[in-house]
Structure 1
Amino acid sequence: MQVSLSWLTTHLDLSAYSTAQLSDLLTFAGIEVEGIQETGIASDKVVVAQIDSFVQHPNADKLSVCQVDDGSGTLRQIVCGAKNFKQGDKVPLALPGAVLPGGFTIKEGKLRDVISNGMMCSGKEIGLGEDTGGLLILDPSLPTGQPLKDILASDTVFDLEITPNRSDLLSHLGLARELSALTGLPLKGPRDHTAPTSTTRPAQENEVTLQAADACPYYTARIIKGIKVAPSPAWLKARLESIGLRPINNIVDITNYVLMEMGQPLHAFDLSKLQGGIVVRRAAEGEKILALDGTQPALLPEDLVIADSQRPIAIAGVMGGEETGVTDSTVNMLLESAYFTPSGVRRTSRRLGIHSDSSYRFERGCDPHQVQGASDLAVKLILEIAGGQVEETLAVAGAAPALVKDVTLDEARAHRLLGIPDLQTDEAHAILTKLGLTKTAGGSAQTVWTIPSYRLDLVRSVDLVEEIARVVGLDRVPSRFTAVMASGDSTDRQYDHVMQLRHALAHRGFNEAQTLRLISTAQISDSLGHPTPAAVSVALKNPLSEDLTTLRPSLIPGLLATAALNNRQGAPRLRFFESGRIFLRLPNGQTREEDRLAILLSGPVAPGSWHTREPKASDIFDLRGIVEALPGVTSLDIKPLADSPTFLLHSELKVGNRVLGWIAQLHPSRARQLDSRHPVYIVELLLSALRQGSTGPARFEDLPRFPSVTRDVAFELPADLPNTKVNAFFTGLKEPLLIKADLFDVFADPTGTKLPTDRKSVAWTLTYRAPDKTLETPEVDATHARILAALEKALPATIRR
C-alpha cells in the first residue's frame, strides 16, 4: 500500500521526524517499509521560465532552438524536442547543475552543433505527474525565475507491506492512528468515523432488499440528485496522484479518496440507469456482468452481487458494473456503503481473478461501524465539489455486526512475557489507551479492555501484550542466555539421515528437486498408471485450481514433470532426486503419511567429451547401483512385479525382510510424452526402511589375506524363469567357502536352432575363499559339486558339463 506523507500530515504533525526516522519507527512496529519515493522538486536550479521565441533547428527537423527568459535579465538558449508549446508559455527550466529525479544532472552541451544551456522539462522529468508527450505548461501568473520547489509542494510516498491481520492500517487515518500511538503525537481530528453525522431510516422493500444477509449483513444507500460530474479540483487530484491513483471524475475520485482516507470502500451508481431498487443476492448459475475493467466474468451461485430488478449491477465488494457507472452525463446518483463478509469477497475475487482496492480491504476485514461514517464523509465532499441535493436520511438495510469483544489482560502474565523490569503497569495501560482501547474494569491481577471496532486482530490477552511490546520497543527487553544444550532425539536423527542421503546423491552428480505437494488426478493416472486416482489419493475439499486438486500419493509425478521441463529446455542428462512427504488413502478409507525418497535417471552415464563424444546411455542397473550405494542399503534383493502400460522392468526392492520401495523403467510411450531422448528410470524408497538399515556405527572388514578360487558353471533354464530365483538360490546357500556368485552370460536362440525357444542358457562365476588358509583343489571341487547337485535339485536346471 502506498501512503503519502503530506496526506498523513493532515492528521498529525510529523515535522519533527525525518523520513529515515519514520521508516525505522514503522519497521520496528511490525510494518514493513518496502520502498520510499521522494516526489516533487528538490533542486533550487529548476525555475519558472518564459519562452521568448523559437526557430527551427538548422540540423534537425524535430528540434527547436528556443530563447528563454529565466529571470536573470539575459535570454538563455535551449534546444528542445517538444512541440506542445508556443511563444509566451511558461515552463519548468532545469539550469546547468540541476539534479533531476533519478540522479540525472543537467549540463551545458551541444545538440546537433547548437549550444543548449539547460533543459526545458516535462512533468515526469521533474517528478510531477505522468509523461504527457511534451513540456509541462505552467500557470502564466507564476513569476519568472522563481524556483519551482517554492511553488509546487513535494511529497514522500511510503510503499508499505501491511500484514493481513492489520486491516485497520489500510488507510491514511489508520496509519495516522498508529503513528500517533508510536510517537505520542495527538491526532488533529477524530480517531475514527464511527460517530454518525446523519440520521437513518429502515430501507423500504422497493429500495434495498437483503436476500443474502449472511454475506452482506449491513447495506446503506443514499440518493443525491442534481450533481454536476466534472474533473476533480486540484487538491483532490493531487491526493490521489500522490499514491498512484488516476483521477477520473469528481464523484469517482471522492469515493476513492474516502477509501484511501478511512479504509471503507464505496460505490456510486447512476440512478437513471437502475431499474427498480437494490437487491443484494446470490448470482444465478452462469449469470454475467460487464465489469468496470472490461471483463465479462461468468458468475456462480456462491458469488454475491448487487442487482436491480433486472440484472446484476456490481460484483459485491469486488468491482462495479460498467452499465450503471457514473459518467459525465450522470445527474442523479445512488451512493452505496456496505459491509461484506471477508470470506465471500476473497473467494469470488480469487476465482474470477479480479483484484481491486475494494476487494483488497473487504477480504481482510473492514470496520462495519464506519460504514455510515464513510457515506457521510463522501456526501459532504460531493455536495461541496459536485453540488446537488441529498436525501435527509440514510436508507439502511440490516445492522452492523459486532466483530470485536472485550479482552481481559492478565497483568502478571503480561509482565512475565514482556520481561522488561522497568515497565510499570501505568505505562503499559497508557500505551493501550493511546492505541484506542478503553479500560472498563479490573484490578491489580486482571483488567478488562474494550476494543475499538477497527481492531479486528485483538481477540486474546496475548494480543494486548504484543501491542505493548510493539510500542515500547524490543530494545528495552534485556538480553539473557536461557538456552541449554539439548540431547538429540528421534527427530534429529531422522533429519540427519535425510541430509546424509541428500549429500550422498549430490556427490554422485544428482540435482535435488522440490516439487509441490499438490498435483492433479491426471498426473496420478499418467505417472503412476492408476485407473482410479481417487482410490489411492487424498483430494482437497477446496482446491486452489484444477491442476492442484489432490495431495500427492507419490514423489514420481513431480519428478516426471521436472524431467519434462528439463527435456524441453535441452538438458542432455537428467539426474534428479527429491525427498518429501506423500499422502496415501488406505482401503479402509483412512489416510497415511509417509516420508519417501525418489530418484530419476536418464541420459548418458557421463557428459560427452573429445574422448567419448556419445557415452553409452544409462540403464536400470546404473540406477540400481546408485541405490545400493546409499547409506542403509546392504545386499539388495529384487522381486519382479507385473509390467503395466506405464512401467517396464517393474520390481520391488528389499533388504532382507524390509521392503525398501520399487524400481522401474518408464514405458517408452510415456517417455516420448516427456520429450525424452533416452529411456527414463525411476525408483521410490521408503525413508523409514532406509533408516532401519543405517542405525549403529559403520562396520569395516579386513581385506582378505588369502587368494580366492573361481569356478564357472553353465546351465539351461526355462526361458521364463526370472534371474532373481537363481540369485536367491546362491544367496541362500550355507556353504562357508562360497563368498559370491555373479552372472556373466545369458544365451537364447529365437530360431530354435541351437537351443529350444523355451529355454535359455546362463553362465555364472562362483568364487570360493577360506578366511584362514589357502584353499586346495580337492576342497574347492567338493564344495562346487555339492552346490551343483543342490542347484539341479532346487531349480529346473540342466547343467552343461
Structure 2
Amino acid sequence: MKFSVNWLAEFVDLPEDPEEIADLLTRAGVETKNVETRGAKIDNVIVSQITASSRHPNADRLSVCEVNDGSGTKRQIVCGASNYKVGDKVPLALPGAKLPNGTEIRKSELRGVESEGMLCSAIELGLGEDAAGLLILSPEAKIGVPIGDVFPSEMILDVEITPNRGDLLNHFGLAREIAALTGNTLKSTPREAKIDIRKTGVTISAIRECPFFSARKIDDVKVGPSPQWLRAKIESVGIRSINNIVDISNFVMLELGQPTHAFDADKLEGGINVRLARDGEKFLALDGKTYSLKPDNLVVADQERAVGIAGVMGGEETGVTDSTKNILLEAAYFLPASVRRTARNLNLPSDASYRFERGVDPGMVLRASQRATELIREITGGTPAKEIATAGKIPVNPADVSLSYEKCDRVVGIAIKPRTVDEILTGFSLQKTSAAKMMKWKIPSHRRDLQRDVDLIEEVVRAFGVDKVPGTGRSRFTASSAADHSHNLESAMRERLVARGLSEARTSKLIPRSASAFSEKAIALRNPLSEDH
C-alpha cells in the first residue's frame, strides 16, 4: 500500500528523511519496498479549461477542442479522449513540454487539423495509472497556473503489509505504529462516535457473517466534484477521484482503515437486511458486470433485491450519481473469511475486500461512520439524521494475554528490563491489567493478531531492536557417519559421469492407475499433478 508522508505527519512527528522512516519500519518487520516522489513539477504544463468541442472532420475517434490557457488567446487541441465535457479543467502540455514518459510536445497536424499542444491523462503526468481518459481537475483550479501548483511534490512510501497486520492498511494505523517505534506521541486520534442509536430499519439474517451493521441517512446532499484538498489526498496514493461522496468514502478508508459505502437512499425499497444470497441470484455490480451468486455469498439487500455484495462492492442500481439527493451511509463489520471466500469465488477483488479480508478494527466502525458523515455535511451540505440505525453487536476485544518477564528474557536470549518491556507494550496500545509475576495484558481491538505470549515477545523485540540482540555460535563438531561417506561417493560418481558427457535423468516415482503394478495396496494421490499419477 502507498502512504503519503505528509498525511502521516498529520498524526505523528516523523524523522525528516523519509528514508529513515522506511528503515525504521523495515527493521521492525514492516517492509518498505520503495520511497518515491509524487507530483507534477513539469515545465510548460498548465491548467486549462475546455471552452468548446467538436468532432474531428477526418477521424471518428478524435475531437477538436478549444481551450483557454489563461493567455487571452484560445488554443486548438486535437484530443482522443472522451471522458470530458465543455467547462472541465484539464492539464495542457504546451509546445516545448517534456513529459515524464519522454514524450516531447510540439505543434503538429493530426489528420489534417492543427493541434497546439496536448491534453493529458494522469499516467502521462506520472500522477497515477489511469490512462482511460483526461485527468479532470478540480473546478477550483486556477486557469494558467503550472500543474505543479495543483500537484506539489511529496514523498510516498510503498509499504508491504503482511496479511496479519490489517491494522496498518491506513494512514492512522501506520502513524500509530511509527509512534510506538519512535516513542513519539500521536497528535490526534479518531473521535468517539457520540450519536443516538436506534434498532429499527436494519436487520441481520446472517449474524455469523455480519456481527454488526450500521446505516445512517443523510439528506439533501449535493453530489459534484471534490474540493482540491480531498482530490490531492486520495490521488497522491493512487485512488482516482469520482465525486465528492465516493471520494469521502475512499478518504475515510485510507485514513482510518474502515470501508464505508453510500447508497442512493431514494432507490432503496424498505429496510436493509444483511442476508445470504439465494442460489443463482443475479447482481449488477458497480463495475458494470452481472454476477451469479451462491448461497454462501453475503449480500446487503433491501426488501426487493440485493443492493451490495457485503464487504466487496456495491450495486449499480443503487449507486450514487450526479442526480442523487439523499444517501444511506453503510459502515459494518463483516467476517473476514466470508468476504475472502466471496471475493475469490466471484473473482472480484476491491480495496474494501482487501481490508475486510484481513480484519478491520471493530472499534473503528462507528468512528469511521461519524468521520464520513461530518465530511459529507461539510463538503456536500447534507443534513445527517440525528440517529444511526444499527443491528447486531460490535465484536468484543481479543482475550487478555499473559506474559512473564522471565520467559521474555529466555526467548529473546538477553535480559530486557521489565520497565522497558512495559513501556514497549504500552506504546503498542496494550494495557497492563495485572502487576503479578505473570503479567496480564489487555489487547486493543485493532490487534487481533496478538493471541499468545510469544506474540507479545515479538512486539518487544520489534521495538527494542533485533540488532541489539547479540548473535551466538550454536554450531558443533559432528563426526562423519556411513551415510555421509555414501553421499560423498554418490556425489563424486555423478561429477565424473557428467564430466564424461553423460546426463542424469530422474523419472517420477509415481505410477499411473492403469499400470500393471497397480494394486489395492497402492496409495492414491488426493491431488495428482496429471492423469498419469
Q: TM-score, normalised by structure 2?
A: 0.79
- Which residue number in structure 1 is paired with residue 434 of structure 2? 441
Q: Aligned partners of 2:508 and 2:320: how far apart in 1?
A: 50
- Asked whether 1:375 is paired with 2:369, we answer yes
Match of residue 196, structure 1, among 190, 193, 196:
193
Asked if 2 retains the 8 angstrom alpha-carbon contact of 1:92 and 1:138, the reply is no
Q: Aligned partners of 2:220 and 2:378: how far apart in 1?
A: 13
Q: Aligned partners of 1:490 and 1:307: how far apart in 2?
A: 70
- Which residue number in structure 2 is paired with residue 178 of structure 1? 177
Q: 1:495 to 1:187 in 2, by over 3 A?
A: farther
Asked if 1 retains the 8 angstrom alpha-carbon contact of 2:151 and 2:232, the reply is no
Q: Aligned partners of 1:110 and 1:126: how far apart in 2?
A: 19
- Asked whether 1:455 is paired with 2:458, we answer no
Q: How does 1:644-659 map to 2 (within 5 A)?
A: none
Task: Name the SS of the counterpart of 1:289 in structure 2.
Answer: strand
Q: Aligned partners of 2:12 and 2:176: how far apart in 1?
A: 9
Return the offset for 1:91. Answer: 5.9
Match of residue 418, structure 2, among 399, 421, 425:
425
Q: 1:385 to 1:140 in 2, by over 3 A?
A: closer
Amino acid at match of 1:200: I
- Which residue number in structure 1 is paired with residue 263 of structure 2? 269
Asked if 2 retains the 8 angstrom alpha-carbon contact of 1:49 and 1:93, the reply is no
- Which residue number in structure 2 is paired with residue 481 of structure 1? 473
Q: 1:106 to 1:136 in 2, by over 3 A?
A: farther
Return the offset for 1:11. Answer: 1.5
Amino acid at match of 1:182: L
Q: Aligned partners of 2:183 and 2:395: how far apart in 1?
A: 31
Q: Aligned partners of 1:493 and 1:301: how far apart in 2?
A: 61
Task: Name the SS of the counterpart of 2:402 in structure 1.
Answer: strand
Return the offset for 1:126. Answer: 4.8
Task: Name the SS of the counterpart of 2:291 in structure 1.
Answer: coil
Amino acid at match of 1:375: S
Return the offset for 1:322. Answer: 1.3
Q: 1:248 to 1:150 in 2, by over 3 A?
A: closer
Return the offset for 1:20. Answer: 1.7
Return the offset for 1:420. Answer: 3.8
Return the offset for 1:330. Answer: 1.3
- Which residue number in structure 1 is paired with residue 527 of structure 2? 551
- Asked whether 1:281 is paired with 2:278, we answer no
Asked if 1 retains the 8 angstrom alpha-carbon contact of 2:329 and 2:369, the reply is yes
Amino acid at match of 1:356: S
Higher mean alpha-carbon deviation, 128-137 vs 166-175, is at 128-137
Q: How does 1:208-227 map to 2 (within 5 A)?
A: 208-227=202-221
Q: Aligned partners of 1:398 and 1:424: how far apart in 2?
A: 44
Q: 1:316 to 1:464 in 2, by over 3 A?
A: same
Select the structure that is richer in strand: 1
Q: Aligned partners of 1:49 and 1:238: how far apart in 2?
A: 15
Q: For residues 129-173 of structure 1, what are the alpha-carbon distances to aligned partners after superposition, in whole Å with 9 as ceiling and x for unaligned? A: 6668789999999798x9875674212222222111111011111
Asked if 1 retains the 8 angstrom alpha-carbon contact of 2:121 and 2:133, the reply is no
Unaligned stretches of 5+ residues in structure 1: 51-61, 63-68, 72-79, 113-118, 518-522, 539-549, 561-581, 583-801
Q: For residues 244-301 of structure 1, what are the alpha-carbon distances to aligned partners after superposition, in whole Å with 9 as ceiling and x for unaligned? A: 1111111111111111111111111111111111111111111111111222222121
Task: Name the SS of the counterpart of 1:363 in structure 2.
Answer: helix
RMSD over aligned Cα, in angstroms? 4.5
Return the offset for 1:462. Answer: 1.0
- Asked whether 1:12 is paired with 2:15, we answer no
- Which residue number in structure 1 is paired with residue 55 of structure 2? none
The count of corresponding residues between Structure 1 and Structure 2 is 498
Amino acid at match of 1:440: T
Task: Name the SS of the counterpart of 1:440 in structure 2.
Answer: strand
Asked if 2 retains the 8 angstrom alpha-carbon contact of 1:339 and 1:366, the reply is yes
- Which residue number in structure 1 is paired with residue 288 of structure 2? 294
Asked if 2 retains the 8 angstrom alpha-carbon contact of 1:92 and 1:148, the reply is no
Q: Aligned partners of 1:177 and 1:262: how far apart in 2?
A: 11
Amino acid at match of 2:157: F
Task: Name the SS of the counterpart of 1:376 in structure 2.
Answer: helix
Q: For residues 598-626 of structure 1, what are the alpha-carbon distances to aligned partners after superposition, in whole Å with 9 as ceiling and x for unaligned? A: xxxxxxxxxxxxxxxxxxxxxxxxxxxxx
Amino acid at match of 1:29: A
Task: Name the SS of the counterpart of 1:297 in structure 2.
Answer: strand
Q: 1:493 to 1:437 in 2, by over 3 A?
A: farther
Q: Aligned partners of 1:310 and 1:90: how far apart in 2?
A: 45
Amino acid at match of 1:217: P
- Which residue number in structure 1 is paired with residue 229 of structure 2? 235
Asked if 2 retains the 8 angstrom alpha-carbon contact of 1:92 and 1:136, the reply is no
Q: TM-score, normalised by structure 1?
A: 0.54
Q: 1:90 to 1:459 in 2, by over 3 A?
A: closer
Unaligned stretches of 5+ residues in structure 2: 49-61, 63-68, 72-76, 110-116
Q: For residues 32-71 of structure 1, what are the alpha-carbon distances to aligned partners after superposition, in whole Å with 9 as ceiling and x for unaligned? A: 223333111468x668799xxxxxxxxxxx9xxxxxx999
- Which residue number in structure 1 is paired with residue 460 of structure 2? 468
Q: 1:70 to 1:241 in 2, by over 3 A?
A: closer
Return the offset for 1:446. Answer: 2.4
Asked if 2 retains the 8 angstrom alpha-carbon contact of 1:90 and 1:138, the reply is no
Match of residue 524, structure 2, among 510, 515, 537:
537
Q: 1:91 to 1:480 in 2, by over 3 A?
A: same
Return the offset for 1:82. Answer: 7.8
Larger gyration radius, structure 1 or structure 2: 1
Q: Aligned partners of 2:156 and 2:209: how far apart in 1?
A: 35
Task: Name the SS of the counterpart of 1:481 in structure 2.
Answer: coil
- Which residue number in structure 2 is paired with residue 155 of structure 1? 154
Q: How does 1:393-432 map to 2 (within 5 A)?
A: 393-421=387-415, 423-432=416-425
Sequence identity, in percent? 42
Q: Aligned partners of 2:139 and 2:280: how far apart in 1?
A: 53
Asked if 2 retains the 8 angstrom alpha-carbon contact of 1:94 and 1:121, the reply is no
Q: 1:353 to 1:275 in 2, by over 3 A?
A: same
Amino acid at match of 2:179: S
